[in-house]
Amino acid sequence: MTSTRVLYHLVRADFLERVRRYSFLVTLAMAVYLGYGCFTGKVVARLDDYRGVYNSAWLGSLMTLVATVFLSLVGFYVVKNTIQRDQETRVGKILATTPMTKSFYTVAKMISNFAVLAAMVAVMALVALLMQALKAEDPNLDLWALLSPFVIFALPAMAFTGAMAVLFETLPVLRGGAGNVIYFFVWTALLAAPVASLDKGATVSRAAYFSDFTGIVSIMGQMQQDLHKIDPHYTHGSALTIGDTQTTRKFLWTGLRGSPALYLSRVTCVLLAVGLALLASLFFHRFDPAREWFSRKARKEREPAVANGEPVVTFTSPPQAAAHLTPLQRSQNAASLPRLVLAELKLMLKGHRWWWYAVAAGLFVASLVSPLEATHGGIAIVALLWPVLLWSQMGTREARFGTASLIFSSEGSLWRQLPAVWLAGVVVAAVTNGGLGIRLMAARDGHALTAWIACTLFVPSLALALGIWSGTSKTFEAVYTVWWYVGVANHMPGMDFLGTTAESARPAMFLMMAAALVVASYLGRRAKLAYA
Amino acid sequence: MKLSIERVSKQYRGKVWALRDFTLDLRPGVLGLLGPNGAGKTTLMSILATITRATQGRVLWNDTDLAENPDAIRAVLGYLPQDFGVYPNLNAVEFLEYLAAVKGLDAAASRRRIDELLNLVNLADVRKRPLGGYSGGMKQRIGIAQALLNDPQLLIVDEPTAGLDPEERVRFRNLLSELSGERIIILSTHIVSDVEATATDIALISSGTLVAHATPEELLRQVEGKVWEQVVPSDQLTAAKQKYLISGTTRRSDGVHIRVLASAAPNGAQPLAPTLEDAYLYCLTAHRAGAAA
């Protein structure tokens, strides 16, 4: 079998496995919803108060921008599980015994990721086509103007995103929840760097082309140049906005102008993607359990004990005497909820390295001794992100570790275990951000303290609901990180669940949301149990 | 103490029926649930363990309908699923303590019980090691221990000896026999020797239906006088397989000794005492032939 054929089948099998999953349909629905947002004017590429006439060129470019910005973030989380799945399904162990090289595997996975993301891009291209027909601002359909932005910008961006997902999956620290959080900041930095140059003027520099993996600078830069020719008073303001944004004026934009630098930058983006996939192969463990950190630790523990130079078998030594089981009295079945909460808390906290606890303790102490303003506006914000990987286990742990059948066949799993998980999450929130709570109590700041309580209840409720309904910890890790960044770190009213400023705090709203999320968690778990 | 399974059927998505009109009444003792792969054993176990809901029919525990009060059965249930996981960062004691809390066991009682169980499954030496470092057989033994945590009146074990070494397999069989006094144990497996060693009753299941429910002696009586040994040259083995229902072959210096299941003796064949494996094969083949007709 030729390499091309092997590659084709590897990518095909992976692609089919993924697109037949429910999560793919959900993401596809989100892509369509964004397209609908463009149609209804909720998602707008705005240049001061201008937008383009809805012709093929503008719609193709608008939808490309939406696709690259949205899918380069959300799409990453959708596809960052391809190697993990091979591991979980044990297909990886079969693949590892074939002559396939590590670089071949990681490149194939990158292509497979790309194929999944490209399918979503194709849906958005279709939406752009429909939108032009339905909006009817320009009846002339120019297929090249409509589709070329997708080909030139969206597809290379998807290749880059797919490669980043493979790289993150192969790097030991980044393959878990920490990688999901870190990617958001990497993505923000990658997006912000060229965008900053866009605000300075209408001319897109060659360097900006090459650092612009989503194409947002390249496309909007050209839009700015063209608008400036039409309206010299235009101030170079531009934004891709979501929400109720009013544009009062329209201008005719005829489309992208290609240039060697532009094309070269896009080719470079694809080559960079391949390079990242090849780089990933250096870290790829080829499903060797000995190269997993945990297995190293476990193997060390499995090494036979040695007494006087002679190995002592410790694992299957026969019992010294006949084992005895004391009959259990039925009245002994009376474990209290606090004991179960402690058990859940222990489970949540186990397995983290010493430095995790050291940082958490450091943040706690710092929030106690720092000026209240510094605590409220800085340390508490960081302390709120630190336990994200503890919360993200909530509602997903049973499925992730295959213990669902053991737990859900136990008496009162819905009424005892679920509340215990939630309470354990609340305890984590209260303790890790407890420094701020104590300070607010001491300062007798009732409003801020209410916001702190709302936050303490809201965050674990969000984690539990998202965990139960999505079945994966990634959803909370991604949603929470974005929400934390936009709402808490940037003090956005309505989004700031910690209430970092008096203006941005909405404690009543978050208390209500927490209650709604608890109900959603209950209903989600109830729906998953055969007998509630 | 009784468990009644009344005309239970289960249909999965795609219109696949995993169980059809399955009816069985169980009293204390060990029921060996035997059947080929895909027969519906695991589906039945999952229904009894309240993991999945029957599409039709009902299950009664001491006359309480499982659909109306699933906790009635959960309170007395010990369940070892075919596939289960463990929390890799917890050690054996922590994992069992966690499950004891989930099952609602009192702290002091569960501590004593965990000590006894770890001795019983021969994991006391490694009780403080993270489960992530356990071998498959050791994880299986942890599974056995958790199933016995609440001293269950109903113990359901699905392929419990998978992954166990011969010594541990024997220990487990003995354990099941010891436990079988005042409780109902359902042992689902396709390993006939496990059932042979422990079961007081056997239920044969195929294509989601109950083929037979009898004691081992009754099943053996069905094939009495129908098991033969014939010696054939190696080159005639393929032809013999096409002609007879063969339950075993052994190569010896005088040729291949085949174990034939037939109503009449093949040429030169000698009668043999039947085993449960013979009975299992005979019943299943007869059932399939009947279904095909």
Diameter of chain B by CA atoms?
Answer: 68
Give percent above pLDDT 90 in chain A. Answer: 45
- B25 by Cβ neighbours in 10 Å (0-12 / 13-18 / 19+) ranks as exposed
| For B148, nearest residue in chain A (alpha carbons) | A325
The tokens of B5 are what? Answer: 């399974």
What pLDDT is recorded for position A306?
A: 41
Residue A243 has pLDDT above 80, yes or no: no
Give yes or no for A491 touching B (CB within 8 A).
no
Lowest mean per-residue pLDDT among A307-316, B177-186, B246-255: A307-316
- For residue B5, list its beta bridge partners: B24, B59
Q: Which of residues 294-333 of A touch B (CB under 8 A)?
A: 294-295, 297-299, 301-302, 314-319, 323-329, 332-333
Lowest mean per-residue pLDDT among A274-283, B42-51, B164-173: B164-173
Q: Which of residues 339-378 of A touch B (CB under 8 A)?
A: 339-340, 342-343, 346-347, 350-351
Which member of A323, A325, A530 has the closest CB to residue B51?
Answer: A530
User: Are B271 and B265 spatial neighbours (Cβ–Cβ below 8 Å)?
Assistant: yes
Q: Which three-class secondary structure state does DSSP give residue A242? A: strand
A208 closest CA partner among A217, A502, A199? A217
Taking the domains of chain A in order of start, what are their residue ranges?
A: 3-291, 336-528
A451: confidence class by pLDDT, cuts 50, 70, 90: very high
CA quadruple A285, A287, A288, A289: dihedral sign: positive
- For residue B257, list its beta bridge partners: B231, B250
What pLDDT is recorded for position A298?
A: 45
Q: How does pLDDT run across A367-391, given as a tens digit for each residue?
A: 988 888 888 888 999 999 999 999 9
Q: Is the ipTM of this complex over 0.90?
A: no
Lowest mean per-residue pLDDT among A224-228, A243-247, A302-306, B172-176: A302-306
A96: confidence class by pLDDT, cuts 50, 70, 90: confident
Sequence-separated (6 or more) residues with CB below 8 Å from residue A361: none
Residue A320 has pLDDT above 60, yes or no: no
Sequence-separated (6 or more) residues with CB below 8 Å from residue B81: A405, A406, B45, B46, B49, B51, B143, B158
Give yes or no for A207 touching B (CB within 8 A).
no
Min distance B255 CA to chain A CA atoms (Å): 39
| For B147, nearest residue in chain A (alpha carbons) | A406
Averaged pLDDT score across all residues of chain A: 85
User: Are B189 and B160 spatial neighbours (Cβ–Cβ below 8 Å)?
Assistant: yes
Amino acid at residue number A104: F
Residue A516 has pLDDT above 60, yes or no: yes
What pLDDT is recorded for position A198?
A: 64
What pLDDT is recorded for position A331?
A: 55
HEC per residue, A196-241: HHHHHCCCCCHHHHHHCCCCHHHHHHHHHHHHHHHCCCCCCCCEEE
A242 closest CA partner among A473, A436, A418, A46? A46
Q: Rounded mean pLDDT of A281-289?
A: 86
How many residues in chain B?
293
Amino acid at residue number A72: S
Residue A463 has pLDDT above 80, yes or no: yes
Residue B265 has pLDDT above 70, yes or no: yes
What pLDDT is recorded for position B80?
A: 93
Residue B38 has pLDDT above 50, yes or no: yes
B227: confidence class by pLDDT, cuts 50, 70, 90: very high
- For residue B206, list its beta bridge partners: B209
The tokens of A188 are what? Answer: 């923000």
What pLDDT is recorded for position A244?
A: 66
Sequence-separated (6 or more) residues with CB below 8 Å from residue A232: none
CA-to-CA distance for A147 and A67, rounded, in angstroms?
Answer: 13
Q: Which residue has the higher pLDDT, B260 or A22?
A: B260
A330: confidence class by pLDDT, cuts 50, 70, 90: low
Q: How does pLDDT run across A470-502, given as a tens digit for each residue?
A: 988 989 998 999 899 889 988 888 899 999 988
What pLDDT is recorded for position A301?
A: 46
Q: Which of residues 89-148 of A touch B (CB under 8 A)?
A: none
Q: How does pLDDT run across B79-130, given as a tens digit for each residue?
A: 999 889 999 889 999 999 999 988 888 888 888 999 999 999 999 999 999 9
User: Are B164 and A342 spatial neighbours (Cβ–Cβ below 8 Å)?
Assistant: no
Q: Rounded mean pLDDT of A431-456?
A: 93
Q: Which of residues 378-397 of A touch B (CB under 8 A)?
A: 397
CB-based burial, A345-355: b 16+ in 10 Å, e otherwise: bebbbeeeeee
Lowest mean per-residue pLDDT among A206-210, A367-371, A438-442, B269-273: A206-210
Distances (CA, A) of A30 to A24, A66, A124, A487: 10, 12, 10, 21
- A121 by Cβ neighbours in 10 Å (0-12 / 13-18 / 19+) ranks as buried
The tokens of A58 are what? Answer: 């503008």
At CA B22, angle to CA B20 and CA B25, rounded to 5? 175
**A532 contacts on B by Cβ (under 8 Å):** 70
Contact state of B79 with A405 under an 8 Å Cβ cutoff? yes
Q: Which three-class secondary structure state does DSSP give residue A244? A: coil
What pLDDT is recorded for position A292?
A: 61
Helices and strands (H, E) in chain B, number of each type: 10, 14
User: Are B164 and B172 spatial neighbours (Cβ–Cβ below 8 Å)?
Assistant: yes
The tokens of B274 are what? Answer: 């039947």
CA-to-CA distance for A83 and A87, rounded, in angstroms?
Answer: 6
Q: Which domains does chain B have, with CATH numbers?
A: 3-215 (3.40.50.300), 221-292 (no CATH)
Q: How does pLDDT run across A30-88, given as a tens digit for each residue?
A: 888 888 888 887 888 888 888 889 899 999 999 999 999 989 998 999 899 899 888 88
Q: Where are the beta strands (DSSP E) in A3-62?
A: 43-46, 50-52
**A343 contacts on B by Cβ (under 8 Å):** 97-98, 101-102
B143: confidence class by pLDDT, cuts 50, 70, 90: very high
Sequence-separated (6 or more) residues with CB below 8 Å from residue A308: none
